Structure 1
C-alpha cells in the first residue's frame, strides 16, 4: 500500500476497529503484527491509534458486538462490512482530527511509551518524551513543538526559540522543558533563564527552578517546582505522596492502549520512583503495595480495582 500519512492512518483505524469489535481471531492478530512490523510508520501509526482509543474510551469497547460468539466465516465478513460503516469511518475521522497530518509529518516524533535523545548540529541537545512531535529549523533558530513534551539544553549564547500553540519560549545558555497540555503549555526551567511570550506579545522571564503556565488567555505567574517532576528525562516517574488517580493519569501517557481504574482508588497515596521502561511492572508494584488487582483484558486494556471487587 502507499505509505502516505492518510493511508497509514486509515489502515491503523481499520485494524483498531477490527480488534475492538470482539470478532478478531488469531489470523487477524497475526496480520496486524505483520502490518506493524512491515514499516516503521505502521508501528508509529498503531501506537497513535492506541492513544486515540484511550482518549475516546467512552466509546463501547465491543462496538455493540460483545454478545456474539465467534461467527462463521460468512457471517464474519458481514460483521466486518458492518464495522466499515459503524466503526471505521468514525475511527478514521477521529484519527484525522486528533492526530493531524503535521504530527505525522514532523521532523522528529516518538510513539507512546518511547523517549528519544537527539543531539542538534549547533551543540544543543533535544529530548522528546512519550507521544511527542517536533519540527526543527536550525537555519532560523527555531523548533516547533507540534505535540507532547520536550526538554532542550542550549549551551551557547545563540538563542533557540521554541514555538508552541500558545506562544513561544526563547532559550540561550539554559535548560528548559516544554509540555503542551490540552488547554495550555507548561514551561519549566532547570538551568539559566528563558523568555516566554504569549500570543498577544506579552512576555515574562522565568528563572532556574521556576515553572510557568502559558495559555491562550495569557501568561501565568512563575512558581517554584520540583525537578523530580521531570524525571522522565532519565526514564523515571516519581511520586511523593501523590494521589493514585493523578499518578495513574501520568502513567497513562506512557502506555499504549486503555488504562482504567475504579474511582474509589483516586484518593490512595503513592510515593516512590518507578522505571518507565516497564509500565507493566509499575502496575504490579501498585497492586502489591495497595492491595489491588490488575485485570488484563488484553496487553493493551488494563483495569485496576480493589481486590474485593474482582472475581
Structure 2
C-alpha cells in the first residue's frame, strides 16, 4: 500500500515548483534570488527538492539551445512568441512532474474528486447524500453498494436500511440510517458518527460499533480509543471552519487545506487563541478577519504566497 506524502512534503514540492516557475518567467528580481537562496539553505528538505527539480529540468530540456536561440532570433514575431510559450511550458514540465509525485494520480482518476478549496455534494440514486471536502477523492460502486475513500475527507448520510459500505485504507465502515464523516490522514483514518450508529471492521482486531457523537481513528495496527466529539465541528459540510479557543497554529494548518499555494506564519503566533466561525469560500477574507482581531500582520507576496507575522508596536 502506498503511503501518502505528508502535507509538509507536498508544500515543499509546491514551493520548489513555484520558485522554478518564477525564475523561468524572466521576471525574478535580485531580491527574489536572495529569497530563493535563503529558502534553500533554511532546510535540507528544501535543498533536496530544489536539486531534484533542477535535475528534472535538465532531463526534460529536449530542445537544443542553439536551435532555440536561432529560432528566437528570426524576424517572425508569431513564430518567436509561439516558441517562447513552448519553452516556458517545457520549463514547467519538471515542476508539474514533481508535484504529481506528491499529489497521487489515483485522486484524479477517482469517480468524484475535488481540488484545493473545492466542496462537492452528490445525491446518490438510493437517496444517500455524499459530500467531499477540499482536496478529496472517492470511488463509487452502487451495484456493489460500496464507496472507496481515496483521499481527503468525506461525509455520507444513508437514510434507508440498506447499508452502504465505505472502504478505507485501514478498514471498512457499514453505514445505514446514519451519517458519518471520514478524514484520511497520512497514517490513520478518523471516523466520526454525526447521527445513528455505524459498524467498523478494522484491518486488524475485532469489529466495533460506533454511535452518535463518537469517533475513533483506524490505523494499520487496528482501531484506537473511542472518544467523544462535537457533532457541530465538521462545519465544512456547511462551508464553514469553526474554532473554539483554538491555538492559531492549529487553525492556520487547517485553513491551509483550503488554499492553493503557500501559507506561512511566524512561530511566535502559534499559541495565540482564536474563536469564531469563518466562511471557507473566501480564505483571503478569513486572513483579513484574523488581522483585524489579533495582533498580526498579513504580508501578501502573491495570491499564492502569504505570510503572517506579529504586528509591530508603533509609537
Would you identify which runs of 4 or more consecutive aligned residues in structure 1 move more than 6 Å? 12-15, 80-85
Give the equivalent residue in structure 1 for 2:35: none
CA RMSD of superposed structures (Å): 3.2
2-side partners of 1:143 and 1:280: how far apart?
34
Q: How high is the TM-score relative to the length of structure 1? A: 0.74
Q: Indicate the SS of the match to 1:229.
A: coil
Determine whether 1:131 maps to 2:135: yes
Greater C-alpha Rg: 2
Q: How many positions carry a matched residue from both structures?
A: 255
Structure 1: tracts of 5 or more residues without a match: 1-11, 26-55, 65-71
Structure 1 residue 18: Cα displacement = 4.8
Which residue does the alignment assign to 2:25? 23
CA distance in 1: counterparts of 2:292 and 2:15, whole angstroms: 36
Match of 2:174 among 170, 174, 177: 170
Distance 1:17 1:248 in 2: 23
**Residue equivalent to 1:268:** 272
Counterpart CA distance in 2 for 1:298 and 1:271 is 27
Residue 234 of structure 1, aligned match among 228, 233, 238: 238
Q: Contact 1:158 / 1:172 at 8 angstroms: preserved in 2?
A: yes
Q: Does structure 2 conserve the Cα–Cα contact (< 8 Å) formed by 1:185 and 1:213?
A: yes
Shift of 1:101: 2.5
Tell me which residue corresponds to 1:293: 297
Q: Mapping of 1:102-117 within 5 angstroms? A: 102-117=106-121
- SS of residue in 1 equivalent to 2:291: helix
Query: Does the CA-based 8 Å contact 1:17-1:88 persist in structure 2?
Result: no
Identify if the C-alpha distance between structure 1 residues 117 and 304 changes in structure 2 by more than 3 Å, giving closer, same or farther.
same
Residue 102 of structure 1 and its aligned partner are, at CA, apart by 1.7
Structure 2 unaligned spans of 5+: 1-13, 28-44, 55-68, 74-82
Deviation, 1:246, is: 0.1
Q: Deviations over 1:175-195 (max 9, x none)?
A: 000010111000000111011
Cα deviations across residues 184-209 of structure 1 (Å, max 9, x unaligned)? 00000011101111113532111000
Q: Distance in 1 between matches of 2:270 and 2:306?
A: 16
SS of the equivalent of 2:308 reads strand
Aligned equivalents of 1:133, 1:157: Cα separation in 2: 25
Aligned counterparts, 1:85-96, within 5 A: 88-89=93-94, 91-96=95-100
Q: 1:181 aligns with which of 173, 182, 185?
A: 185
